[in-house]
Structure 1
Amino acid sequence: MPLAGKVAIVTGSGRGLGLSYAQELARQGAAVVVNDVDADVAAEAVASITASGGKAVAVVAPVGSTETAKTLVAAAVENFGGLDILVTNAGVLRDKSILKMTDEDFDMVINVHLRGTFTCVREAYAYFKENNVAGRIITIGSPTGQRGTFGQTNYAAAKAGIVGMVRTWALEMKRAGVTVNTVVPVAATAMTKTVPYFAKAVEADERGEAMPDFFRKTLGFGTADDVAGLIAFLASDAAGKINGQVIGAGGDRLQLWSHPEAVATEFRDGGWDTASLAESFESLFGDKLQSVGERFPELPAELAPEPAAK
């Protein structure tokens, strides 16, 4: 087992994607600190791991504060003798278009996703550096942070911010032998369950059946377990040379996302003033402007959602 003797923290791991990550880390040999805000859910997650012969304890606390981050690291050290792996999965959604989004909606999502990732990573890295541990940090991104999604200003900002922090941390932590990467999951979750486009995939998953090939192969959309293997791999010694990367996983698909690069460059003697931009911008860059949002292929007729009853 590649993670035998390792200790992991997985935030937001009471259910969904986080639970799959925690269970897979345990299957690969790691002892796991489970985290959730619901004590009953956290206890069930721990039980699911220990019933299979794994080791796990729960920390019931909302992610975001430095206090919670310290509590998580302390739980790993006190219960299992150390810390080797951190997966920052905890998150919430408060989806609204910008004119309807309140300060509270924005702050809640930023606090859990962005600040929660920052505080937990800072605390884990401090432990790694002080104890000479070549740790593994895996943050969770989203296609929304890469491409944007209508009604998710707060979520897009948080997920894009996480990737920006990871690129910086990869530079800062390299000398200590710590790796930090982002995983972009594309899987059936509580959020995608409400989207009609994914209805047939989610329904198949809930029946315990394989999702149709269109979702798994064409769309790269699958189950939480399809992502968990990538999490465990990045946590292992085999991934020691992978650092500062954004890697997508979903269904049968694996993706390596590029870092932002200029797609076109032009120079003009004396620089670019208003008049020269008005005259030249369209001819120079008009056919190179970048798209926003995700574009999904049309669903095959047999996978289209059932029409709503009148």
Structure 2
Amino acid sequence: MSAIDLTGRVVVVTGSGRGLGRSYAQALAAAGAAVVVNDVDAEAAAETARLVTESGGRAAVVVAPVGPAETAEQLVATAVSEFGRLDAMVANAGVLRDRVSWKMTDEDFDLVVETHLRGSFTCARAAAVHFREAAHPGRIILIGSPAGQFGSFGQTAYAASKAGIVAMARTLSLELARAEVTVNAVIPTAMTAMTGTMPIYADAWEKFQAGEALPRVIRQEHALGSPDDVAPLIVWLASDRSAGVTGQAIGLGGDRLTLYAHPSALTTRDAEGGWTADGIADVWDAELAASAQPSGPTFAPLD
């Protein structure tokens, strides 16, 4: 069991039928929490619940798509009806519809935004309403992505949603501070089937699947390990040990823990009376261009 004790706590984890969500659910249960498991795949959700209960934990299952307000309200209601309370909401559910923007359909864009961004909002709102009415502290944990921090080729809808989620966490942290509800964004990174499709990781993914340990450069410089490596951050954020932490974007993957900066101005210039287009061009070329930041992540070489 985790040294952090969540006995008596109740946590909802959306999208916990597999992958990172399943790891979060199992780690929370191992720390003593009862878990409401959610997924659109009934068999996957049941399997996560089975793993939780067979290891001595308590689980309830809600099979429903995240996004609609009705699902969020059902998740909160299930926590209360099955276990008597709600202490933390982990809004993890998501879908991918990756393609370059000029080939992305409206339907694919809307599905990604509906699940990630709207789903995080409706779940956070339902939890916030409950915490305020119950008048006890709570935890809202939203899930971002490096794509939302840096951009990612072929992931317009996903990156936009994840960037919005981090901004949402900061805003909700302000709104809910008086209610003693903390709101944070987790930026998880893990070696998964999706990561394994990237050419840079093809060899490492094959070896990882075969049971070989990931090399140090991947676990640290690339912040990639197993999904289970991310779960301790969720457990900590759901606990009393993180009571003073709110409005933050915190990453974990492999061996690397990361605290992300809030967006801030890199540099400023003033022009008395205002700017002309030519003046902007001149100061850009002479001074500001050197401070411009690239889009997309950068990776340390693997050899």
Q: What is the identity, as a one-letter code, of the residue corresponding to 2:151?
A: G
Map of 1:24 onto structure 2: 27
For 1:184, the aligned partner's letter is: I
Shift of 1:183: 0.6
Corresponding position of 2:116: 113
Q: How far has the Cα of 1:196 moved from its partner?
A: 2.3
Question: Structure 1 residue 98 and structure 2 residue 101: aligned?
Answer: yes
Instruction: Please give the TM-score of this superposition, normalised by the length of structure 2.
Output: 0.97
Tell me by how many angstroms 1:124 deviates.
Answer: 0.6
Q: 1:268: how far off?
A: 1.4
Q: Identify the residue that residue 236 of structure 1 maps to in structure 2.
A: 239
1:21-44: per-residue Cα shift (whole Å, max 9, x none)? 000000001000000111111111
- Could you say what secondary structure the match of 2:177 adopts? helix
Cα shift at 1:211: 1.2
Contact persistence 2:218–2:302 (CA under 8 A): no
Q: 1:280 & 1:208 partners in 2: Cα distance?
A: 54
CA deviation string 1:245-265 (max 9, x = no partner): 000101100000000011111
Q: Distance in 2 between matches of 1:196 and 1:277?
A: 40
SS state at 1:138 partner: strand
Q: Give the corresponding residue for 2:143.
A: 140
Query: What is the identity percentage for the equivalent residue pairs of Structure 1 and Structure 2?
Result: 56
Query: Gaps (5+ residues) in structure 1?
Result: 301-310
TM-score, normalisation: structure 1: 0.95
1:156-201 deviation per Cα after TM superposition (whole angstroms, max 9, x unaligned): 1100010111110010000000000011011022311222212233
Find out whether 1:168 has 2:203 as its counterpart: no
Deviations 1:25-70 (A, max 9, x none): 0000100000011111111110000000000011000100001001
Residue in 2 that maps onto 1:154: 157
Give yes or no for the alignment of 1:290 onto 2:274. Answer: no
Q: C-alpha separation between the residues in 2 aligned to 1:217 and 1:70?
A: 39
Tell which deviates more after alignment, 197-206 or 85-94. Answer: 197-206
- The aligned counterpart of 1:246 is 249
Gaps of 5+ in 2: none
Partner of residue 267 from structure 2, selected from 244, 264, 267:
264
Report what 1:51 is aligned to. 54
Q: CA deviation at 1:277?
A: 1.4
Question: 1:127-159: CA deviations, max 9, x gaps?
Answer: 000001210111110000000011000001100
- CA offsets per residue over residues 224-278 of structure 1, 9 Å max, x none? 0110000100110000010000001011000000000111111111111122112
Contact 1:10 1:35 in 2 (8 A): yes
State how far apart, in whole Å, the 2-side matches of 1:195 and 1:113 are.
22
Matched, 1:83 2:83: no
State the match for 2:41 in structure 1: 38
Paired residue for 1:306? none
Q: Distance in 1 between matches of 2:283 and 2:198?
A: 42
CA contact (8 A) 2:147 2:158 kept: yes
Whole-angstrom distance in 1 between the partners of 2:84 and 2:207: 42
Match of 2:196 in 1: 193
**Deviation of the 1:220 alpha carbon:** 1.4
Q: Do 1:17 and 1:189's aligned partners in 2 also have CA atoms closer than 8 Å?
A: no
Indicate yes or no: 2:215 matched with 1:220: no
Once the two structures are TM-superposed, the CA of residue 279 in structure 1 deviates from its matched residue by 2.4
Runs of 4+ in structure 1 over 6 Å off: none
Residue among 192, 205, 208 paired with 1:205 = 208
Q: In structure 2, give the amino acid aligned to 1:281.
A: W
Change (3 A) 1:282 1:62: same
- Tell me the matched-pair count: 300
Q: Which residue of 14, 19, 42 maps to 2:17?
A: 14
The root-mean-square deviation of aligned C-alpha atoms, in Å, is 1.0
Alpha-carbon distance between aligned partners in 2 of 1:204 and 1:123, rounded to the nearest angstrom:
42
